[in-house]
Amino acid sequence: MVFALPSTPPHRLAPLAIACLLAGLAACNSDDQTAYVAPTAPTGLGYAASADSNPAAAPYIDNGASNQRGKACMATLETNAGVRVVAGFLDIWEPRTRLVDAGVTAPADGDCPAVTSSDWSGLPGSATDGTVKNQSVHAYNIHFVEQLTANRTAEQELAAYLDDRRGKNYSLSDGMGPLTDAWRAGSKQTTTITDMPADATSVKYDDKGNNRGLGSDSNTDMGLAVDFINALSVDGSTEPAKRFYKYARPWRWSSAVKVVPTLEPAKSGTPTTDGGFISGHTAEGVRDSLAMAYLVPERYQEMLARGLELGENRILAGMHSPLDVIGGRIQALAVVAYNLHRSEVTSLKQSAYTQTHTWLNQQLGLGDDSSLWDAAHSGSQDRFADHAQIKADYLRRLTFGFTPIAATDQPAVVPKGAEILLETRLPYLSDEQRRVVLQSTALPSGYPLMDDAEGWGRLNLFAAADGYGRFDGDVDLLMDAAAGGFHASDRWRNDISGAGKLSKRGSGSLILSGNNSWTGGTDLQEGTLQASSPTALGAGDLYQRGGTLQVDAALQIGGHYTQQPGAILHSVLGSNGSGRLSITGDAILAGELIVTLQAGYQPTVGDTLQLLRCDARHGSFSKVTVAGYTVTPIYSAHGVQLRIDGQQS
């Protein structure tokens, strides 16, 4: 696009002249024109990214019903989805037999031969035990438990005890933070276990409460939510995997593993049916926490964090190893996705979601979902309030410090149907966009157990809930504020790289707060884009056709900034450069500037505030408003300043 720039100083151009410039027309003043090529909207890569599944892998969502024990045709690695999804364990451990046969028999069924019970004794080192295939991984796995149990605190011991003995869903529901009381009231949850027993030698006791609560047959408040959570555990047993892999619990591997003393009576005396891999408590905890996160996505990451905390508590209890816990997590993700795709759940999930939100809003005195996120993060007793800390804990619990044993640079694949796990957390994205989010936030390859053929082991749902990790294609984002919830407002906190571009459409608002470096540019067309970190908008051009760009940080724009007529730049000025723009390329200005001040930041009359620096400035703002002050904009060849003339009454 070519247009002429008149000799009149740019800050004196009339709005009509600016409009002419941005329209690509000759300037209205024909004297002493200088040719200038204005930036056009970024083109990015010209295509959207896609995330394929592994065509060689049997999809879990199509085969989840095969996760059974005691059935001859579902007793092998090839025929049992629950066993197959954690088949990476076979790189570390070879079981006595590759059958679901520990304490299990099954009659022949058609062409499937009968299953006879294995002679596995359940005791490490016995003549009938399996074989360690990767000694370093196995040794680390058991040593990890030795170290954790030897050094656990009294607080950790209590948490491990409670997560072992009481209903797991009741334990998990404290992940709801400020919503916990309302959740428990609506689901009618109860427990009879609230503390450690005084006598460490007493017999174990079980929770006489109701775990998840009461279903819809007797609960009109949140009974559908309880039905929904129950439904996501269908075909979710961990027993087939336990009976197939036949890998002992850590306290059988090493006497240095210290089981919580009050859990000693809970230790099984029948090792042949008490395999450690995979962890049943972990699998149930992850299933339930993800189900609750689906219903209340305002607590999505906090609930995920609580689920993995329960898994780590199994290690602290001395009952499971890290690989047991990782295996439980992997299988749980697949089971939840499988169940979300079942027709019975498809018809239930929306009604359960609606009932849950109606109840929570009623209990909190909210008219609708517009304030639910704020209410869900307003409590002073929320142990999951520190986002950075729970993110670090979650990432640590995904791998437990294992060293990769294979190449770490293999591309991630996304399991068929896995995008449904983000359905309520990123509702404004398409299914394919959610798949790309999962792919772009996946863990590196190479970790023990986690390189399953479908890709369940590498999913990082916590990171995925913070948006894209890479723009490997162009992202067209449409957010409709009228739809409420995350459609109206969301935040992406990941550090986004890649060569694609971001196009923002619709009336909703998106906050970007990562250390972003994508190079394809940003095209702001509608709604609000809020830059809350210096590199929030990546390294490319920013082209603002319309909408509002809100700048909270000392924003760096790596290319040109073009503001068309009708677009709004909202600068939130504060200390340390907050609200200022540093533009590597040109700034082409034509829309409105609105300035507000951060709390505690008060300029004095006569001050001159730097707003924008650039390589070359063209045009000026059509209107300038500074809350509480009268100002004069001062335009120069390389920037814009604001002179404070006075205070408004």
Residue 364 sits in a domain whose CATH number is 1.20.144.10
Based on the fold, state whether residues 233 and 359 are members of the same structural domain: yes
Task: Please check whether residue 550 lies inside any domain of the structure.
Answer: yes
Listed residue (566, 581, 573) closest to 628, CA to CA: 573
Q: Is the pLDDT of residue 97 over 80?
A: yes
Res 649: pLDDT: 74
User: Using alpha carbons only, how large is the chain's radius of gyration in Å?
Assistant: 29
Predicted pLDDT at 379:
75
508 and 434, same domain (yes or no): no
- How high does pLDDT run on average in the chain? 94
- The per-residue pLDDT for 34 is 64
User: Mean pLDDT over residues 314-321, rounded?
Assistant: 98
Asked if 507 and 395 sit in the same domain, the reply is: no
User: What pLDDT is recorded for position 167?
Assistant: 96
Residue among 441, 443, 440 at smallest CA distance from 452: 443
For 342-425, where are the alpha helices, taking DSSP H only? 343-346, 349-364, 372-376, 387-399
Q: Give the mean pLDDT of 334-358.
A: 97
State the SS3 of 550-612. Answer: EECCCEEECCCEEECCCCEEEEEECCCCCCCEEECCEEEECCEEEEEECCCCCCCCCCEEEEE
pLDDT in tens, 399-433: 999 999 999 999 999 999 999 999 999 999 999 99
Is the CA virtual torsion 484, 489, 493, 497 positive or negative? positive
C-alpha 34/C-alpha 6 separation (Å) is 7
Query: Which of 345, 325, 367 lies closest to 423, judged by CA?
Result: 345
In a shared domain, residues 537 and 420:
no
Backbone φ, ψ for residue 106 (5° rounding) = -155, 135
Residue 413 sits in the same domain as residue 286: yes
Residue 455 lies in a domain: no
Percent of the chain with pLDDT over 70: 95
Mean pLDDT of the region 222-229: 98
Distance CA 49, CA 34 (A): 41
Q: With respect to residue 525, please indicate whether it lies within any of the assigned structural domains.
A: yes
DSSP state of 170: H
**Separation between Cα atoms, residue 172 and residue 296, nearest integer Å:** 13
31 and 64 in a single domain? The answer is: no
The whole-angstrom separation of Cα 366 and Cα 378 is: 14
- The pLDDT of residue 22: 45
Residues 536, 301, 241, 334, Cα dihedral to 10°: -60
- Residue 504 host element (H or E): strand 502-505
452 domain-assigned: no
Name which of 395, 399, 476 is nearest 432 in CA terms: 476
Which residue would you say has higher pLDDT here, 7 or 104?
104
429-483: pLDDT as tens digits: 999 999 999 999 999 999 999 999 999 999 999 999 999 999 999 999 999 999 9
Percent of the chain with pLDDT over 90: 91
Among 388, 422, 440, the domain-final residue is 440
pLDDT, tens only, 7-42: 333 333 344 344 444 443 333 333 334 678 889 999
Point out the domain boundary residue: 392, 425, 440.
Answer: 440
For residue 437, the one-letter residue type is V
> Residues 522, 500: contact at Cβ < 8 Å?
no
Is 415 in the same domain as 478?
Answer: no
Q: How far apart are CA 270 and CA 193, in angstroms?
A: 26
List, as one string, the DSSP characters of 282-347: HHHHHHHHHHHHHH-GGGHHHHHHHHHHHHHHHHHTTS--HHHHHHHHHHHHHHHHHHHTSHHHHT
pLDDT single digits (tens) 301-316: 999 999 999 999 999 9
Q: How many domains does the chain have?
A: 3
In whole angstroms, what is the distance from residue 373 CA to residue 359 CA?
Answer: 15
Instruction: Output the pLDDT for position 381.
Output: 79
State the virtual CA torsion across 517, 523, 528, 534 in degrees, nearest 10: 20
Residue 619, helix vs strand vs coil:
strand
* Contacts (Cβ under 8 Å, ≥6 apart) of 389: none
Peptide bond into 278 cis (omega under 30): yes
For residues 463 and 470, is the Cβ–Cβ distance under 8 A?
Answer: no
Q: Is the distance from CB of 469 to CB of 496 less than 8 angstroms?
A: yes
Give the per-residue pLDDT at 14.
Answer: 40
Give me the residue label for tokens 């000025």: 573
Domain annotation covers residue 97: yes
Pair 65, 32 in one domain? no
Around Cβ 101, how many Cβ atoms within 10 Å?
23
d(CA 391, CA 462): 7
In a domain, 45, yes or no: no
**Tokens found for residue 95:** 């079981």
| Pair (433, 478) in one structural domain | no
pLDDT at 130 over 90: yes
A 10 A CB-CB count for 200 gives: 12
Nearest-5° angle of CA 128, CA 78, CA 87?
A: 65
**362 shares a domain with 234:** yes
33 shares its domain with 102: no
584, part of any domain: yes
Say how far apart CA 3 and CA 6 lie, in whole Å. Answer: 10
Average pLDDT over residues 615-626: 97
- 26 shares its domain with 106: no
The answer as to whether 465 is a domain residue is no
The total number of residues written for the chain in this structure: 649
For residue 390, give its domain range: 60-400+408-440
| CB-count burial class (<10 Å; 0-12, 13-18, 19+) for 423 | middle
Say if residue 378's pLDDT is above 90.
yes
Q: pLDDT (tens digit, 9 = 90+) per residue, 240-273?
A: 999 999 999 999 999 999 999 999 999 999 999 9
Q: Give the dihedral sign, CA 97/103/107/109.
A: negative
The answer to whether the CB of 250 falls within 8 A of the CB of 318 is yes
Instruction: Give the DSSP H/E element, type plus range, for residue 642.
Output: strand 639-647
